[in-house]
Structure 1
Amino acid sequence: MRKRWIQYCRRCVMPETKPDLYIDEEGVCNACRSFERRATVDWDKRKKELLDILERYRSRGSNYDCIVPVSGGKDSHYQVIRMLELGANPLCVTATTDMLSPIGRRNIENIKRLGVDYIEVTTNPTIRRQMNRIALEEVGDISWPEHVTIFTIPVRIAVQMKIPLIIWGENPQNEYGGPASAAQNTVLTRRWLEEFGGLLGLRVSDLVGKYGIEAKHLIQYTYPSDEELAAVGVTGIFLGYYLPWDGYQNALIAQAYGFETYHKTVEGSLVNYENLDNIQTGIHDYFKFLKYGFGRATDLACLHIRRGRLSRNDAIKLVKMHDGKFPWIYLGVPIEDVLKDIDMTIEEFMSICDRFTNKKLFLCDSRGNLVKDRYGNLTKINYDNME
């Protein structure tokens, strides 16, 4: 069996294989370095900047003060709660979730009960299922259509309703590691979407002509033109730049306002309070593991290590226990039911998995075939190097 070497951050447990991650000469990743710098942030000054922005864009009753894109999760609950506390009148906008779970629907309804106006834009479900399949086959991301509309639909609504300010959550390049210029960016621009929005090189226009998809089916997946954005003056800011951002804190606050958590640890995760809305998420996270050798458990472990809630040794044990398991079930739904929705067999799915698996990161036999256990799980190379 062939073995290779993966370097891990000495402070958290993130591997060097994560796109845009940089591990410095001291063995510390840029996400940990970014978190270090938060200790020197003047949060009172940042909050005043936020208040000044809200005052500048306040509509005085003639329109909404801002748009808050929401999925129903802990973070979107937190965004809405904070905006209401700061006296803003937000319009909450949801882009269709691929396979919305029952708990996801209940949490969306709970956001409405916070006391806001709300719009949910549902794309053509027949076309959506075709797009899910295409994206899984071509870029290894079943959630690609959802990730596109998360960023396009709120911006389209902003243009159409002439609401210039959009309140996003945390900049993932800041929280999870990425180029310094992107991590420090406080405004979500069209360029940011194209570079860091998870498009994976697949353009919306590339879908035309596949599985009967026509340009008319892709309206909601298309970002407004620069001229349309300029006419309204649309800008988007990351709330996590102005207020201290912590997913666990957000979950605690959201629960106090009625947010519902799962009854046990979510499959492939370490917690019960996030990724509760989309039943396809198990497949999405598994492909990240196949491509880069880490999954959602690693992400969460790193966040908690940086905040002093989890030791690195305990994190290593938990990651090995939960990360990268074949997604036979997610939120209680068998994978066969998820694949049936996109007209795919389990055999076809496994073939796609093998095609997107980075064999440099997993044990293979002498013929170069991936070594799997009886549950279909792979074995990462030099896992012990985490320690």
Structure 2
Amino acid sequence: MKYCASCVLPDTRPNLVIGRDGVCNACMNHRNKPHIDWPERQKTFRKIVEEAQRRSSGYDCLIPVSGGKDSTWQTVKCLEYGLNPLTFTYAPPLRTELGRNNLDNLIDLGVDHIDYRINPKAEAVFLLKSFRRFGNCGTPMHTAIFSISRMLANRFRIPLIIWGEDSSTEYGGKKDSDAEFELDKAWLNKFGVSHGTSAADWVDADLTAKMMTPYVGASDEELTQSGTASIFLGYFFKWDPEESRRVAVENGMKIKEDGARTGFYNYADLDDEFIAVHHWMKWYKFGFTRLFDNLSIEIRNGRMTRDAALEVIRATGDQLPLNDIKAFCRFTKISEDEFFSIAEQFRNREIWSKEDGTWKMKDFILPDWTWT
């Protein structure tokens, strides 16, 4: 494994590339941000807003939200620009009380809202199939968020879907200068955590086509015909989780007072009882955790040194999310032993090796890491 010389991410992270100078493409994208003409981009956003308002027959835009820091920031920003949004939430299978309260707070900012709850029996089957097939329990969630958003925009003839940050530039994948306004099927196939699958790919005796209806969405052709565009707000306004947190808290969002659910931030991943399972599988597959992602953002924004980030990793450990795993197992009706048996199938043998009965990574970023 090789690690970025600037942040703490390894080259095993999908779409992350470390250059000849030892710095990854996500860090290089961030270094380019001071050179971006943000006022000019915001003028472009104003024009997009005006065009959406001109074409709208009701809702000017659709904002996919959870009630968390980013979606609260998105909603506040859109209201500041005079947009009349419809907000939509994919309701997680096991929503936390804090997540419910934060979503209610976002709605109380002054928006219409649709809370879309998928048949839990179908979702449990899809979750387990995805976990068995890809070692990823996030595929149903991400597929639903993107598909239902496109479906609602098409049904309500909403001219604009407004997303938050573009993960392909924030976490590696392409340069900010190459970013497009559009979030289309090509973007979803590469960066949307669906492994290039569609709803049709999951249909079988256990999941009928009708059960998969929420995961179908509208096609690119349908959205083009209706004139619906999808944009990333982070393209027009410099995205920083700390700024999102500040705006969200000022507008009533509550944080997790007893510490982070997973990773470094106590104001992220607040709404779902087993979201940490999705993040933790990175440890088996790629040799890093949600913590590495969060700390790398802190390094890029100048709030932490790389050495300090390494000490946080050392002190925190791999953050095995036992409570979230138990919740996932209850929902999908499998045992914890079966969960770990499935997870073990996705351990990356190119970076992991067993020594004296213990799995270790020989090239890990901390040579004196305590392996258990």
- Shorter-chain TM-score tier: over 0.9
Distance 2:197 2:191 in 1: 13
The correspondence of residues 124-163 of structure 1 with structure 2, limited to 5 A, is 124-163=119-158
Which one of 340, 345, 369 corresponds to residue 355 of structure 1?
Answer: 345
Matched residue, 2:95: 100
Aligned: 1:11 with 2:12: no
Aligned: 1:231 with 2:225: yes
Contact (CA 8 Å) 1:69, 1:150: kept in 2 or not? yes
Contact (CA 8 Å) 1:363, 1:381: kept in 2 or not? no
Matched residue, 2:251: 257
Post-superposition offset of 1:195: 1.8
Partner SS state of residue 320, structure 2 = coil
Which one of 287, 292, 311 corresponds to residue 317 of structure 1?
Answer: 311
Contact (CA 8 Å) 1:173, 1:182: kept in 2 or not? no
Matched residue, 2:364: 382
Which one of 279, 282, 285 corresponds to residue 285 of structure 1?
Answer: 279
Distance 2:169 2:22 in 1: 18
Partner SS state of residue 180, structure 2 = coil
Distance 1:217 1:278 in 2: 22
Supply the AA of the counterpart residue of 2:352.
F
Q: Which runs of 5+ in 2 are unaligned?
A: none
Partner SS state of residue 20, structure 1 = coil
Contact (CA 8 Å) 2:274, 2:327: kept in 1 or not? no
Post-superposition offset of 1:290: 0.9
Matched residue, 1:269: 263
Contact (CA 8 Å) 2:314, 2:366: kept in 1 or not? no
How many residues are matched? 369
Residues 183 and 271 (structure 1 numbering): CA distance in 2 closer, same or farther, change over 3 Å? Answer: farther
Matched residue, 1:301: 295
Contact (CA 8 Å) 1:9, 1:29: kept in 2 or not? yes
Supply the AA of the counterpart residue of 1:83.
C
The correspondence of residues 11-30 of structure 1 with structure 2, limited to 5 A, is 11-30=6-25
Supply the AA of the counterpart residue of 1:384.
L
Distance 2:177 2:122 in 1: 33
Post-superposition offset of 1:264: 2.1
Residues 9 and 183 (structure 1 numbering): CA distance in 2 closer, same or farther, change over 3 Å? Answer: farther
Post-superposition offset of 1:143: 2.0
Q: Which moved more, 1:111-120 or 1:57-66?
A: 57-66
Matched residue, 2:355: 365
Partner SS state of residue 224, structure 1 = coil
Aligned: 1:180 with 2:162: no
Contact (CA 8 Å) 2:66, 2:90: kept in 1 or not? yes
- 1:138-190 per-residue CA deviation (whole Å, 9 max, x = no partner) reads 11111211111111111110000000211110000111111338962232112
Distance 1:172 1:101 in 2: 25
- 1:47-89 per-residue CA deviation (whole Å, 9 max, x = no partner) reads 1110111001105873111111101110000000000111111
Supply the AA of the counterpart residue of 2:343.
C
TM (norm. structure 1) is 0.90
Partner SS state of residue 364, structure 1 = strand
Distance 1:143 1:98 in 2: 12
Q: Which runs of 5+ in 1 are unaligned?
A: 1-5, 373-377
Residues 35 and 265 (structure 1 numbering): CA distance in 2 closer, same or farther, change over 3 Å? Answer: same
Residues 24 and 317 (structure 1 numbering): CA distance in 2 closer, same or farther, change over 3 Å? Answer: same
Contact (CA 8 Å) 2:184, 2:220: kept in 1 or not? no
Percent of residue pairs bearing the same amino acid type: 34
Supply the AA of the counterpart residue of 1:51.
R
Post-superposition offset of 1:227: 3.3
Which one of 27, 35, 46 corresponds to residue 41 of structure 2?
Answer: 46
The correspondence of residues 191-270 of structure 1 with structure 2, limited to 5 A, is 191-210=186-205, 212-270=206-264
Partner SS state of residue 12, structure 1 = coil
Matched residue, 1:76: 71
Contact (CA 8 Å) 2:3, 2:365: kept in 1 or not? no
Distance 1:146 1:345 in 2: 22
Moved over 4 A (4+): none
Supply the AA of the counterpart residue of 1:383.
I
Supply the AA of the counterpart residue of 2:119.
N
- 1:326-354 per-residue CA deviation (whole Å, 9 max, x = no partner) reads 22124xxxx32331110110110110111
Contact (CA 8 Å) 1:170, 1:240: kept in 2 or not? yes
Residues 94 and 239 (structure 1 numbering): CA distance in 2 closer, same or farther, change over 3 Å? Answer: same
Distance 1:184 1:320 in 2: 35
Distance 2:266 2:111 in 1: 26
Partner SS state of residue 151, structure 2 = helix
Aligned: 1:91 with 2:81: no
Partner SS state of residue 100, structure 2 = helix
Contact (CA 8 Å) 1:143, 1:280: kept in 2 or not? no
Post-superposition offset of 1:206: 2.4
TM (norm. structure 2) is 0.94
Post-superposition offset of 1:269: 1.3
